[in-house]
Structures are given as C-alpha cells and as structure tokens.
C-alpha cells in the first residue's frame, strides 16, 4: 500500500498541474492543513531536479502566503477559527504557550520553529494571536521557510538518484523516520 501511495504521489509530482498542487498544499499547510508540504515537494524535486530552485521558490512563497493566512486567522479570528483549528490538532495549550513566547522572544520563535518539523500552522496562528508585527513576521518566514525548502532542493538536486533509490528500497523506513521527525517537532512545542 505504501509503495502504491508513493508511486501515485510521484506521478502527481511529475504531472503538468503539480506546481499548482504544490501552491495549494504549501499555502494550506502553513495555516490549516495537517500534512507537511514535503510530501508533495520531495517527489516533485526528485521527478524534476532541473527545476529544483524554481520549486523551492514556489514552495517558499506559497508557504509564506499561507503563513499570512494563519497570522490573520490568529489575529482576527482566533476564538472562532484559530482555536478550533488548534483544538482539532489537540494543540490548544501549545498555541497559547507559543503566543506567550511571541511576546517575549518575537522573531526568534519564527526563526527557530520554522526550520523544524513543528507544524508551521501553530507558529502562524500564535504570531497572529499575539499580534506580532507583520513585517518582521513576513521577513522571518521568508528566511526560515526559504532556508528549509532551498536546503531540500539543494540536497535532492545534488544527490537525487541515490536518494530516490534509497527511498524506493526503504520506503517504510523513510516514512517512519519522517513520522518521528514530525512527532519530535510537535513535542518541542511542549518545551517552548
């Protein structure tokens, strides 16, 4: 089943509409969507390595746009939209903790959390709820999300085929490692 899902995602990643799907997933992931955008970006990078920089740029810009949506939801609709999103992910207290941290550490929260597997939607909602200044939020989001996606692009562009072979031969192990990274990111919220 995992192999079938991986094959389907790889086919979609190579389709003519893949960039539009990447925009949709990256935008939604930064504000409401539960799955990391990497599930779409990595197969796209592997399927089309010569467009790695373009794909990283598209993913960065779409993620920052989604971050703005999350910021707006947190700033103006936290009670009616933001907290129900947080509640859906069982992250009510995490969002409140992040909101308090924004008041003390500001832009450093975005820079630290944006590179981790921590769901970025939590950062964007909390930044909005704290009414963190929009221009530093956008700048830090561009830096941190860009660093993450361009690093992925550089690695996959450089080492594409060996990484593709590794993923295809050890798909279950790769997905398990990704799950551990995501769980680690979520647990980091508890400590900050």
Structure-block tokens of residue 104: 């003390």
Span 13-20, average pLDDT: 85
Mean residue pLDDT of the chain comes to 80
| Full domain range(s) for residue 67 | 2-191
CB 68, CB 175: distance < 8 Å: no
The DSSP annotation for 69-93 comes to: HHHHHHHHSIIIIIHHHHHHTT-HH
Q: Mean pLDDT highest for which of 28-32, 101-105, 172-176?
A: 28-32
pTM of the model: 0.77
Residue 55: predicted pLDDT: 96
* Helix (DSSP H) and strand (DSSP E) numbers for the chain: 10, 0
Q: Which residue, among 98, 160, 87, has the nearest Cα to 123 in the 3D structure?
A: 98
Residue 96: predicted pLDDT: 80
Domain count, the chain: 1
40 or 35: which carries more pLDDT confidence? 40
Residue 5: predicted pLDDT: 61
């Amino acid at each position: 089943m995992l192999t079938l899902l991986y094959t389907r995602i790889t086919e979609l990643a190579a389709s003519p509409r893949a960039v539009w799907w990447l925009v949709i997933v990256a935008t939604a992931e930064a504000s409401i969507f539960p799955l990391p955008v990497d599930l779409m970006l990595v197969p796209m990078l592997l399927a089309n390595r010569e467009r790695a920089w373009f794909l990283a740029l598209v993913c960065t810009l779409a993620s920052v746009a989604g971050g703005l949506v999350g910021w707006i939801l947190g700033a103006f609709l936290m009670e009616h939209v933001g907290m129900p999103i947080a509640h859906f992910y069982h992250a009510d207290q995490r969002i409140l903790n992040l909101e308090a941290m924004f008041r003390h550490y500001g832009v450093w929260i975005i820079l630290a959390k944006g590179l981790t597997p921590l769901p970025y939607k939590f950062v964007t909602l909390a930044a909005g709820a704290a009414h963190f200044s929009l221009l530093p939020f956008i700048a830090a989001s561009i830096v941190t999300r860009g660093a993450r996606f361009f690093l992925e692009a550089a690695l996959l562009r450089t080492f594409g085929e060996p990484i593709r072979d590794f993923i295809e031969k050890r798909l279950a192990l790769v997905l398990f490692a990704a799950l551990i990274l995501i769980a680690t990111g979520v647990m980091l919220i508890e400590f900050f």
